[in-house]
Homo-oligomer: A and B are copies of this chain.
Amino acid sequence: MELPFLHWLRENIPPAPNVALGIGDDAALLNQQSSQQTVVTSDMLMDGTDFILQDCGAAAAGRKALAVNLSDLAAMGAKPVAAFVSIAVSKRFGEEAALTVAKQLFAGLLPLAAEFECAIAGGDTNSWNGPLVISVTAIGEVPVGRAWLRSGAQPGDAILVTGTFGGSIKWKHLDFTPRVREALRLQSLATEVHAAIDVSDGLSLDLSRICAASGCGARVELERIPLSLEAVEYCKNEDDFAAATEHGLSDGEDFELILAVPPHEAERLLRDQPLDIPLTQIGWFTAEPGLTQQLPSGEVLPLQPRGYEH
């Protein structure tokens, strides 16, 4: 399968001006600038775990595999440069069917790559008797010292989030927009971001990871969590939003960003709303470790991090 597919790839992958050498040699070559750091992230997605191929099709699976990696670059405040896409396609339905799946997979991810100026610069194409596996490594760059780590949150920093949360399983997990544009906009505004993460496993769980890495805690006002329509719809027959909030706090694969931003910077961002999607403050980081929730009455209770535990 590899040879005809490589021919197809070469015809369908646009040239990438920022890639010195792309697909077709033993490795790709990327130019470096000493003013930048290379940012590298890898995610592997498997049929039956991260997508159901027969339900969503190979195009959606391919798109998702690239998108989750671009989301990780966004969480570092990095600009995408190139992605490397390795696949193992099932040949249980024959070589022809395997080739079709491979082409659909790339047809699904190439528009996303183009949208975020991420070259497809290499990878590995295989067929086997197992289910579809897609492994993507995305490479980006960020000016030296400007990467957003998980470990820089400080007590008093505002917890800002992009977009809305909950119910991603209905469709968003397959069709989300990685927050690359938002990250780059914040970088271009020289926004002071102390820490960041993308929400892959659940808002509360990923927030707890920033806290663990930063040696601090976080207090959340639950009623401020921006809920997606899909999360709210889960609960249309109920008389309160507790269940919807639970989805917002614990559903995985929202792929929104959580940012730790100092108060003065947060105030400005919340007022100016410089992104095309809402930025919302849901609480603040605390010196005491652990997650807490603050009720409208002012009462403070523990908040158990919940989400998708691998």
Among B1, B27, B38, B139, the residue within 8 A (CB) of A78 is B27
Cα A197 to Cα B129 with chains together (Å): 29
Q: How far is the CB of A281 from chain B (nearest CB, A)?
A: 21
Among B32, B126, B135, the residue within 8 A (CB) of A310 is B126
> Scoring A residues 7 to 29 as 1 if CB is less than 8 Å from chain B, else 0, what string do you get?
00000000000001100111111
**Residues of A in contact with B, size category:** 35 or more
Q: Is the CB of A27 within 8 A of B72?
A: yes
Task: Flag the segment in A39-47, A52-60, A229-237, A288-296 that touches B.
Answer: A39-47
Does A88 sit at the interface, judged by CB under 8 A? Answer: yes
Residue of B nearest to A133 (CB): B133
Q: How far is the CB of A126 from chain B (nearest CB, A)?
A: 6
Q: Could you say which residues of chain B place their CB within 8 Å of the CB of A39?
A: 27-29
Q: How far is the CB of A29 from chain B (nearest CB, A)?
A: 5
Where chain A touches its partner, the secondary structure class is strand
Q: Is the CB of A30 within 8 A of B38?
A: yes
Among B44, B123, B151, the residue within 8 A (CB) of A126 is B44
Q: Is the CB of B28 within 8 A of A41?
A: yes
Q: Could you say which residues of chain B place their CB within 8 Å of the CB of A149?
A: 21, 25
Cα A132 to Cα B51 with chains together (Å): 18
Ranked 7 nearest A-B pairs via Cβ: A2-B310, A135-B135, A27-B41, A32-B32, A137-B137, A44-B86, A26-B75
